Amino acid sequence: MKKIIILLTITLFFSCNSSAQKRESNTQNVFPVSKTEAEWKKELSSEAYYVLRQEGTERPFSSELNNEKREGTFHCAACETPLFKSEHKFDSGTGWPSFDREIEGNVAYGSDTKLGYSRDEEHCATCGGHLGHVFNDGPRKTTGKRHCINGVALKFVPTK
């Protein structure tokens, strides 16, 4: 009986640690803008560092960018890569800035299973900073996508 329990425990340990359960990570990739964690900590606010470098999430409805309505472009707060255009922003009611599409080539994707199921995670393609997630419940009249982005990961640059 002891051997069966030990065998089941070992099997359970390895099955919970299988490659299917592991999260794909862009942190091992080399990005055009690459800095040490100390450099990122020095340059970013504590909130921006938490979201962009530690893949955190800001509180919903906490970003001023959620209500930003001017024409312009939303850039990565870490490296200033243009990521989203204001014309593609919409009010999703979720509490985070939402867009129906990204600026093609400037956003990289990965898989996030931190909540126990797989979600499509978004990163800046230039510096690897975590932006948020993309879902298939956006406006049907356009792309059907909802890029749900942490406002602290963005910097708004108005059109002049």
Burial string for 125-152 (b: 16+ CB within 10 Å, else e) reads bbbbbbbbbbbeebeeeebebbbbbbbb
Where are the alpha helices (H) located in 44-143, listed in sequence order? 46-52
**How far apart, in whole angstroms, are the C-alpha atoms of residue 93 and residue 21?**
31
Q: Is 148 a catalytic residue?
A: yes
Q: Which of 76, 79, 124, 148 is catalytic?
A: 148
Q: Please list the active-site residues.
A: 148
